[in-house]
Structure 1
Amino acid sequence: MIPISFGPQVCGHLETGATREWLVPDGRGGYATGTVSGLRTRRYHGLLVVADDTCAGRRVGLVSLDPAVVFPSGAHVRLGAHEWASGDVDPRGFELLERFDLVDGLPRWRWRIGDVVIEREIAMTHGRSCVAVVHRLVAGGPVHLSLAAVCTWRDAHGERRADGPTPHVEPVAGGAIVESAFRLAGPDWEPEGQWWHGVHHRAEAARGLNPTEDLWYAGRFAGTLDRPGDTVQVLAWADDLGTEPPAADEVVAAARRRNQSVVAAAAPADDVDATLALAADAFVVTTPDGPDVVAGYPWFGAWSRDTMTAYEGLFLTSGRFDEGRDLLRAYAGRLSEGMLANTADTGRVEYNTADATLWFLHAVGRHVEVAGDPDLAAELLPALRTVVDTHLTGTRYGIRVDPTDGLLTQGAPGEALTWMDARVYGVPVTPRAGKPVEVNALWINGLATVRELADLVATDAGPAEAAHARALESYRRRFPSPSGWLHDVVDAPAPTYPLGGATHHDDDHLRPNQLLAWSLPHAPLTPDPRMVQAVGAALLTPLGLRSLAPGSPDYAGRHRGGPADRDGAYHQGTVWPWLIGPYADALRRAGLRIGESLIGIESHLPEFGLGSVSETADGQAPHTATGCPFQAWSVAEFRRARRS
């Protein structure tokens, strides 16, 4: 794996140490996460964040364990870090950090106080909501170490205030149970019970969200570190509260062994690929319904579009065929009116997606080919034929095949059904109603996939073959634009038109969606090198491709500000790293060199979400990363592009 280490010049400054984030997942959608500096900058940062069975909801439990060192002289040095609504940062333990390392995916800090050196390691038990925190004396001593347990119990998207109920803390052997929800265990527990008012999250302030909350100082653990190698170990867990996990240092060792085995099983091509293999593992989770995919940490749950787009890069490039097969079976069983649900992150199951189900057809096809699994083809073909049938006759949100040309059209008032789905005050920013270029490329690819799988198992493909031939002919005729690239949408409703004027138009904004017309296994078009080069010249950045070309009237170069500002820019110029996958495929098929197109994302791995790839970045230089620091399809498509 690539080395990810920082010295005091990064760790000791909030401008650098508090903008690099680490993540330790629990394999169930929960996690521990924070910054290199130790300062919590997001409402989502915490040592024990617990996911529900669907991953759509998470709750923050143990927020931090703040270390303080007491010397024999009585000198007291605090190593934690908090920012307050007053603007003060106190304590400032990051100023004593001499090193941070990400070792086998696990974070390790090293503080130096004179000749005393103390390390901290954090790990989680895979498959259980359990975090282990180990402090170890490396040099010097003896010293006394106390650890202040700062807690809450709230929705990860919100805050908790001191004007509400006081958290219930029940003393138990070796620690306490907080809110009947999670348990703390460690040496010499001493209960306290005090509100800490006005903790400030600077990243939330920058995102235009409420940046402050109140936290509960529940108590502290303590121990003496007499000689190098001595430890103070604390556990926190949220399931089976009556059963204590293994010792914290054993949890750390087991997590390290597991991460090493994940990397080895993925047969990485190089150190970057090894890093991406472990990054990909973070998104594959186990739920009561089987394997699933978290779209991004720290705030997304499962999104079917993201899952199916990322499927090959998460499962097939790592040989995770059994888990992938189970996931595809489960999703096939949840089809409704020929559609996959988009997400349940909003608190209800939503089906407002025109492309997720088509990505599902693509994922099944890729699985059968790469894994050599004709049995899965035979098993899922009835479900795939149902998808084709319902799209031919029509399903939710106006998704149907236009009988005049065989292309897939879609759209409904107030909806944005493609991956460019942002809304501002409920109004879609890029509704793209009509016949989008990538949706129809996926439709044609899906029809060809169904026909191919039917041939493989010697069964009838139903109407897929005839529908494919008709859609393919129309696609090749309709989508090329006089501008030198492809229309983004054809037959789009005209926003305004004069009396007697046209009610539809063909949208030729230069966007990256057309890459799928050339990149999919059964792509409808053979790439014209000049078109691919035109797309790359306008949209390619070091971190991926812009969602809209600069110079377009609606182009937004910065993905910044409050929710309305960010959503307004989300697909209007903001860079999306996942698009590097389709771009690399299009280059190869056009006979063009990928060259240095992937170097920027490689260099990004230690910049934002450590060892991972961000959701988005600014369209303008220096293309600062934005959005989720750890994003599934960004990692998956980058890894697939490097391995293709």
Structure 2
Amino acid sequence: MIPPRPLVPLVLPWKPGDDPAALREREWLVTNGMGGFASGSLLGMPTRRYHGLFVPNLSEPKGRYVALSRLDELIETSAGPVNLGGAEFIDGTRKGVAERHLREFRLDGLTPVWVFDIDGSIVERSIVMPHGRNAVCVRWRLLDGPARRMRVRLYVGPRRQDAALVCDDARPCELERATAQDGGQVLRIRQPTRDIVLRVAVRPDNSAFVEDWQIDREVLFRVERDRGYDRVEHMHSPGGWSFELRQECEAALFATTDAELPALDAGTWFDAERGRLEALLARGGFDEADGIAQRLALAADQFIVLPGSRRDEPPGGSAGESAFRSVIAGYHWFNDWGRDTMISLEGLTLCTGRLDEARAILRTFAGYLRDGLLPNLFPEGGREALYHTVDATLWYFHALERYVLRTRDIALVGELYPALQDVVAHHLRGTRFGIGVDPRDGLLQAGAEGYQLTWMDAKVDDWVVTPRRGKPVEIQALWYNALRLMAGWARLLGVADDGCDALADRVQAAFNARFWSSGRGHLFDVIDGPAGDDASLRPNQIFALSLTHPVLDRDRWDDVLAAVERALLTPVGLRTLAPGEPGYQARYEGSLRERDAAYHQGTVWPWLLGHFVDARIRVRGRTGAREFLQAFPAQLLEAGIGSLSEVYGAEPPHRAGGCIAQAWSVAEVLRAWLVTRERRKADG
């Protein structure tokens, strides 16, 4: 048995007088391995529609619901109550003074911990969700100083996290009282219109729930306002509990949407989560000697899920829950996406020693193949996958190749090979959304009016911002790589390769004849588009030399790398468009339309840095490669604490944006961190 590895805490120091905006703009996230989560600002008040103390991912009704929106935690002092929670209101006022009393915030593993000094009483708050259960626990401990009377007021929903915000005085739910297995009281909160029942209990049970309905009217979600969305909601509180917080007796609130509350012992919940994470680190070989790698490995855990909203409908080819796994693309609003999953698989699972889960993910998505395509995404609350993607399917070949390289699991290749042959056949004869091989040159084309098919997929209403119809550069790189992999697997399995090697030769010749822009000194981004060839300098060309089988001729490698490094490289990733190109956007901010106009028009994406590092090592060797990752340790203390954001602004100070925790950002930075740390016999 591998001994557990100690968890290195991530600490954000704090002192009275520091700007509370630093707490309001940073967010914590706890997940449960089912797509559900708890999250909020470090300041203790919600700033997004997605923030909630408990946001389970339900199978019925499907989707993620903000079941508990917040707690107000009031601790009595001689000068009156101190509120460690609270909210901001549309008129500019706010409840809550957490910043005056906070002394430290830290992540113990993935557990957020706040330490407050309230007139000499040192109070610790921490939050955990048990893995694989729709439940949450908030624990309060008096670490030092005199006992304090504490009142906890509960604010409830439930609404689906992406539903319209409502300012309504009508009570959203009904209350019932029940008895727990330990004899204490359980509050049952039922929303009849959705048949959601939330069970809540407080321990020690020295105070019964006191019903006292109140409404906080016109609560402001500041981030939603800044992003151009609905930003005001009435928050309803049915009442709360009052108890004495003493050193010898911790207090905790438990909530679940399961039929029964688990054993109401907070210590057991927290110890189980710590033990689980220590075991994961041990399995992946991560220890305190490399705290950044350990921290990224912990962050990776939050994305690997058994999807709670679909656990009752595993796809064909996945025998039961043990073989049903997926990847949440990003928190708070993304579900599982095929493209993001396949790009992230190596970093999230193979680099962390989670080989069984990698296999389960590959088998799960194979069961969702339709007409030779992998799903693009599973919409929130929906049953049917959407398939409008040209690259997700091709990334599947890459993910499988990386898995086989690590595990030598030839049996899985044999199991999946017929499905992969079907994928190639569909692409040869043409499939949905205009995806198919051009018989004139063997290159892969794609395009359908109104659809965004590549990873540059921003769309506002009917406006596809970067349509990239025609033959995008990275699609050819992925197609060529897939053909070479198929030919290699055919030889491995002792079967005919169906002409994959010959077709790959043709693709490579056509690519190198067509994609080089001699006038620009780099590759075209798209050829044969509706308006001709697009020579915009974008990062997509890096894949022509970063994949296992590079489609680009060797004598162009240095030119492409130099062009990308010169115009697109930043400390936090690659720009999606070079400065000076038509349409370049320096900032990712404003309304949805403004943000989507910048999403792939200059905005920086960290995940691209993984393939830049691969290409750089291939061309120039390993020396100095780690320097391209030096900004990320500091980023772990920004935006989503302990994780990496989806995007960053194109110009300094490269402000974080999008999701506060993004799967492929974490996966590719972790993978690149390990690649630049490890010594290998050859640079590939």
TM over 0.5: yes
Write the letter of the residue equivalent to 2:275. R
Cα RMSD after superposing both structures: 1.8
Any residues of structure 2 matched to 1:228-243 within 5 Å, and which? 228-240=247-259, 242-243=260-261
Q: Does 1:255 align with 2:273?
A: yes
Q: Does 1:409 align with 2:445?
A: yes
More displaced stretch, 309-318 vs 593-602: 593-602
State the match for 1:575 in structure 2.
604
Alpha-carbon separation, structure 1, partners of 2:102 and 2:294: 28
Deviation (angstroms), 1:165: 4.9
Q: Deviations over 1:249-308 (max 9, x none)?
A: 321121122122222221127111110111111100013231111000111100000001
Deviation (angstroms), 1:9: 4.4
Alpha-carbon separation, structure 2, partners of 1:540 and 1:629: 21
Q: Does 1:596 align with 2:627?
A: yes
Write the letter of the residue equivalent to 2:598. A
Corresponding residue SS for 2:56: strand
Alpha-carbon separation, structure 2, partners of 1:411 and 1:147: 55
Q: Deviations over 1:90-112 (max 9, x none)?
A: 22222211111111111111111
Corresponding residue SS for 1:217: strand
Q: Does 1:485 align with 2:522?
A: yes
Alpha-carbon separation, structure 1, partners of 2:250 and 2:21: 31
State the match for 1:277 in structure 2.
297
Q: Does 1:181 align with 2:197?
A: yes
2:12–2:637 Cα contact (<8 Å) kept = no
Alpha-carbon separation, structure 1, partners of 2:496 and 2:222: 58
Alpha-carbon separation, structure 2, partners of 1:485 and 1:626: 29
Q: 1:33 to 1:305 in 2, by over 3 A?
A: same
More displaced stretch, 471-480 vs 512-521: 471-480
State the match for 1:132 in structure 2.
137
Q: Deviations over 1:429-449 (max 9, x none)?
A: 110001000011000001111
Q: Does 1:91 align with 2:96?
A: yes
Q: Give structure 2 stretches of 5+ with no counterpart.
A: 1-6, 180-184, 191-195, 315-323, 676-684
Counterpart pick for 2:569 among 537, 540, 553: 540
Q: 1:595 to 1:127 in 2, by over 3 A?
A: closer
Q: 1:243 to 1:118 in 2, by over 3 A?
A: closer
Counterpart pick for 1:123 among 107, 124, 128: 128
Write the letter of the residue equivalent to 1:510. L
Corresponding residue SS for 2:405: helix
Alpha-carbon separation, structure 1, partners of 2:539 and 2:387: 24
Counterpart pick for 1:197 among 201, 206, 217: 217
Q: Does 1:265 align with 2:283?
A: yes
Q: Deviations over 1:599-640 (max 9, x none)?
A: 112321111111111000110110000000000001011111
Deviation (angstroms), 1:35: 1.8
Alpha-carbon separation, structure 2, partners of 1:278 and 1:477: 45
2:88–2:94 Cα contact (<8 Å) kept = yes
Q: 1:586 to 1:631 in 2, by over 3 A?
A: same
Q: Deviations over 1:291-326 (max 9, x none)?
A: 111000111100000001111111111121111112
1:2–1:272 Cα contact (<8 Å) kept = no
Deviation (angstroms), 1:54: 10
Alpha-carbon separation, structure 2, partners of 1:447 and 1:560: 40
Any residues of structure 2 matched to 1:67-106 within 5 Å, and which? 67-71=73-77, 75-106=80-111
Q: Does 1:627 align with 2:638?
A: no
2:326–2:364 Cα contact (<8 Å) kept = no
Q: 1:316 to 1:557 in 2, by over 3 A?
A: same
Q: Does 1:300 align with 2:334?
A: yes
The count of corresponding residues between Structure 1 and Structure 2 is 631
Q: Does 1:145 align with 2:121?
A: no
Alpha-carbon separation, structure 1, partners of 2:606 and 2:549: 23
Corresponding residue SS for 1:171: strand
Deviation (angstroms), 1:74: 7.8
State the match for 1:522 in structure 2.
549
Counterpart pick for 2:456 among 420, 425, 431: 420
Q: 1:310 to 1:53 in 2, by over 3 A?
A: farther
State the match for 1:513 in structure 2.
540
Deviation (angstroms), 1:229: 4.1
Q: 1:622 to 1:271 in 2, by over 3 A?
A: same
Any residues of structure 2 matched to 1:325-336 within 5 Å, and which? 325-336=359-370
Deviation (angstroms), 1:531: 2.4
Q: Does 1:341 align with 2:370?
A: no
2:43–2:85 Cα contact (<8 Å) kept = no
Q: Does 1:382 align with 2:400?
A: no
Alpha-carbon separation, structure 2, partners of 1:211 and 1:420: 28
TM-score by length of 1: 0.95
TM-score by length of 2: 0.89
Q: 1:54 to 1:392 in 2, by over 3 A?
A: farther
Q: 1:164 to 1:443 in 2, by over 3 A?
A: farther
Deviation (angstroms), 1:52: 2.8
State the match for 1:322 in structure 2.
356
Deviation (angstroms), 1:162: 2.0
Corresponding residue SS for 1:597: helix
Alpha-carbon separation, structure 2, partners of 1:618 and 1:561: 12
1:11–1:36 Cα contact (<8 Å) kept = no
Q: 1:517 to 1:55 in 2, by over 3 A?
A: farther
Alpha-carbon separation, structure 2, partners of 1:232 and 1:222: 11
Q: Deviations over 1:392-438 (max 9, x none)?
A: 00000110100000000010111110000111232111100010000
Alpha-carbon separation, structure 2, partners of 1:474 and 1:132: 59
State the match for 1:617 in structure 2.
648
More displaced stretch, 587-596 vs 306-315: 587-596
Alpha-carbon separation, structure 1, partners of 2:152 and 2:17: 21
Corresponding residue SS for 2:379: coil
Q: Work out the percentage of aligned pairs sharing the same amino acid.
A: 40
Write the letter of the residue equivalent to 2:105. F
Write the letter of the residue equivalent to 2:240. R
More displaced stretch, 401-410 vs 280-289: 280-289
2:82–2:97 Cα contact (<8 Å) kept = no
2:8–2:108 Cα contact (<8 Å) kept = no
Alpha-carbon separation, structure 1, partners of 2:455 and 2:369: 19
Alpha-carbon separation, structure 2, partners of 1:435 and 1:54: 41
Counterpart pick for 2:501 among 465, 469, 476: 465
Alpha-carbon separation, structure 2, partners of 1:97 and 1:49: 25
State the match for 1:497 in structure 2.
none
2:75–2:83 Cα contact (<8 Å) kept = yes
Q: Deviations over 1:70-89 (max 9, x none)?
A: 24x58422222310111112
Q: Does 1:155 align with 2:160?
A: yes
Counterpart pick for 1:28 among 30, 34, 38: 34
Deviation (angstroms), 1:11: 9.2
More displaced stretch, 318-327 vs 2-11: 2-11
Q: Deviations over 1:97-139 (max 9, x none)?
A: 1111111111111111121111101101000011111101111
Counterpart pick for 1:556 among 549, 561, 585: 585
Q: Does 1:443 align with 2:448?
A: no
Alpha-carbon separation, structure 2, partners of 1:294 and 1:444: 28
Corresponding residue SS for 2:607: helix
Deviation (angstroms), 1:140: 1.3
State the match for 1:498 in structure 2.
none
Q: 1:56 to 1:315 in 2, by over 3 A?
A: farther
